[in-house]
Chains A and B, each alone.
Chain A
Amino acid sequence: MHVLVVEDDERVASHVVKGLKGEGWLVDHVADGRQALFQVAAETYDVIVLDRMLPNVDGLKILQTMRASGDSTPVLILSALGDVDNRVKGLRAGGDDYLAKPFAFSELLARVEALSRRKAVVQETTALNLADLEMNLLTRTVTRRGRAIDLTTREFSLLEYLLRNAGRVVSRSMLLEAVWDYNFDPQTNIIDQHVSRLRQKIDKDFDPPLVQTIRGMGYSLRA
């Protein structure tokens, strides 16, 4: 997978580039708006990570130029302007996702991977599984070690999202956005209670526990 990182802050860029390389991505990096325009035209990428504030050419301008020329490469916008209005502006300009600074690398990775999957039109999955946990998306049933587990609709969506991102860390705001479709930073433990109920159902009577709490970041589903 080939990703372009357009970011002028050296420290942030090296953090992102190193992290993505560590995950097996082929990473190109440019720090300047004009170079970015050139690079986007010259190469084909699976995902582009685009900072909004750039020297020479503004990030949104690059995005508009790309979309105007028919380039539909998925773009994740990075910005220190983490406001609702800016988010809306970024998405309207043709961005596919938006991540406010400061961010956890795990969240950036999850979003980049989600975008690359979107492009790679994988065939519609009908089943997800991790270790002895199985989810059938057609019958909407979940079993562990062959035993049926009764989940509410919301718990099912929560587990589906965790399964699709198995092995990765997902933050509480990512869960809120993916499962409830509301975008904000929940500062209390409301999401934790939902996760702990899910955990009760899929982990309590089984071993090993699959739902891991990652301190300071969120949750991860791991075997």
Chain B
Amino acid sequence: MIWRAPLRSLTLRLTLVYMALFCASVGIMLAVTYVGGVWRPLRQVEAQVTSESDALVAIYRAQGRDPLIRALEHRSATAHSRMRYHVLIAPGGAVVASNLVDWPKVTGREWLRYEFGTYATGTEEEHEAVVRDLALPGGYRLLVGLDTEDLDEREDLIFEALSWGAGMSLALGLLGGLVMTFAVSQRLDRINRAARAVIAGDLSGRVALHGSGDDFDQLSATLNEMLARIEGLVASISRVSDNIAHELRTPLTRLRAELEELADAGDDHEEVKARTGAALEEAARLQSMFEALLRIARLQSGPREKGARVDLSALLEDAVELHRPAAEDRGQGFITRIAPDLVIDGDRDLVFQMVSNLLDNAMKFAPEGGVVCLDGQPTPDGVLVTVVDNGPGVPEAERSRVLERFYRSAGSRTEGFGLGLSLVAAAAERHHAELRLEDAAPGLRVVIRFRT
């Protein structure tokens, strides 16, 4: 991918930007060194040459040629940190005085940097000097200069460093950038490949981890978690739609059977009445099932409205009172511990249905003559509602599945749609309440933690 459109690779672009920044910083560093180490000293030398040459010109103007020659000789003989150079040329071109081997024959400029040959140390040496070229009255030409060989060397060094530095950093940056781009694009390619496999329909595809735990591994791990969740949801959706189709088959078949018999019933009034009643019962059952399904779906996806204050203590007492006759018919008893003044924010009907479903469920699983406990107790940050039965309980492995739509555990009697606990789960989520299933040894303990 990167080789096809190199400039579209983010890594390569970043590398180029960093390389440019790096070169610029090397350049700035060298420029600062140049200004401090070469440019400024050169200006100082120029200033010195100016004052010396101005003094020499003044001597010439005041006293004439010979005193100037004496002054020049005296000047070059005097010890100074820089060698002093001079050339005095007569109008005809004859050299009158000089301590140099050669000099620029003609120049148009006043200031120049020139490579002189010199005998200063006995042997001829190439030295660079800053020279002032002056035309004196009377046709004489005077060149006065100071040695700047050290500055010249320093300047060469800086330019050399600049060219090497820039070249090396360009080369290294380019190489590093390509390696980095390649490495990153390989990691991204893995993620891309995994994503394409998922798009193509293989939901079990996962991004291979590198094992180093770096940023890409963390990203891949997060993506893998997301894929696992999506796979789980898709599996549960397809299970649910399979189940809906399956669950519909039975009541629809029964409804059809009742209607067919009704069509055959003829004038038998009792038979017509019985069949109509049975058909209506099946229709009502279908309707209940659909309403429960829709309700769960809406709870899971619908907009959340702000709840009202619900008197939970009274609600729990009402729920027990509503279920007591049905429980007593099975010889089951309720044990309740409901603290007074429990208040939560929520939908009163929905909370009541949650509790009612949990009590239904507990009564379904508690044995004849068994006990169902309902507790409502305050906690520092809310209310804890607990429903416990002394039935067979739910094995650990099955606990998350009993919340799925249409799931009925093996010990369950056939009545009910297998939607009760799903609705409880959806309603709990809507109330931001935590729902937990625990082993009550024996039996099942369902805990709802409301936060206020």
Contact = CB atoms under 8 A, between A and B. Distances in A.
Contacts of B277: 214-216
A154 B282 CA distance: 30
Contacts of A197: 325
Given A216-B278, A216-B279, A182 B318 contact: yes
A216 B283 CA distance: 8
Contacts of B353: 182, 184
B291 A82 contact: yes
Interface string A170-195: 00000000001011111111101110
A97 to B, nearest CB: 15
A196 B325 CA distance: 9
Contacts, number: 75
B295 interface: yes
B347 A84 contact: yes
A143 to B, nearest CB: 23
A215 B280 contact: yes
A84 B349 contact: yes
B350 interface: yes
B280 A186 contact: no
A175 to B, nearest CB: 11
A184 B349 contact: yes
Nearest to B360: A188
A182 B318 CA distance: 10
Nearest to B281: A216
B381 interface: no
A85 interface: yes
Contacts of A196: 325
A10 interface: no
Interface in A189-215: 189-190, 192-194, 196-197, 214-215
A189 B288 contact: no
Given A182-B318, A188-B415, A85 B302 contact: yes
Contacts of B280: 215-217
Interface residues of A, number: 28
A124 interface: no
Contact of B305 (A82, A88, A216): A88
Chain B facing A: main interface SS: helix
Interface size of B as a range: 35 or more
B157 interface: no
A82 B298 CA distance: 10
B303 interface: yes
B246 interface: no
Nearest to A197: B325
B302 A83 contact: yes
Interface string B384-425: 000000000000000000000000000000011101100000
A193 B325 contact: yes
With a 10 A CB-CB cut-off, give which of B282, B291, B348, B416 has the most chain A CB atoms.
B291
Contacts of A84: 347, 349-350
Given A83-B295, A85-B305, A216-B283, A190 B278 contact: no
A208 B9 CA distance: 90
B53 interface: no
A186 B416 CA distance: 11
Given A83-B295, A215-B280, A216-B278, A190 B356 contact: yes
B352 interface: yes
Contacts of B434: none
B281 to A, nearest CB: 4
A180 B319 CA distance: 9
Contacts of B349: 84, 182-184
A154 B322 CA distance: 9
Contacts of B302: 83, 85
B416 A182 contact: no
Contact of B352 (A100, A182, A185): A182
A216 B284 contact: yes
Interface in B146-188: none
Contacts of A154: 321
B416 A215 contact: no
A104 B276 CA distance: 14
Contacts of A215: 277-278, 280-281
17 contacts: A83-B294, A83-B302, A85-B305, A185-B291, A185-B292, A186-B356, A187-B288, A187-B417, A187-B420, A188-B415, A189-B326, A193-B325, A193-B326, A197-B325, A214-B277, A216-B277, A216-B278
Interface of B: 277-284, 287-288, 291-292, 294-295, 298, 302-303, 305, 318, 321-323, 325-326, 329, 347-350, 352-353, 356, 360, 415-417, 419-420
Given A82-B294, A194-B325, 15 more contacts: A83-B302, A84-B349, A84-B350, A88-B305, A182-B353, A184-B350, A184-B352, A185-B288, A185-B292, A187-B416, A187-B417, A188-B360, A193-B326, A216-B277, A217-B284
Q: Give 7 closest A-B pairs by Cβ, nearest first.
A: A216-B280, A215-B277, A193-B325, A216-B281, A193-B326, A184-B353, A182-B352
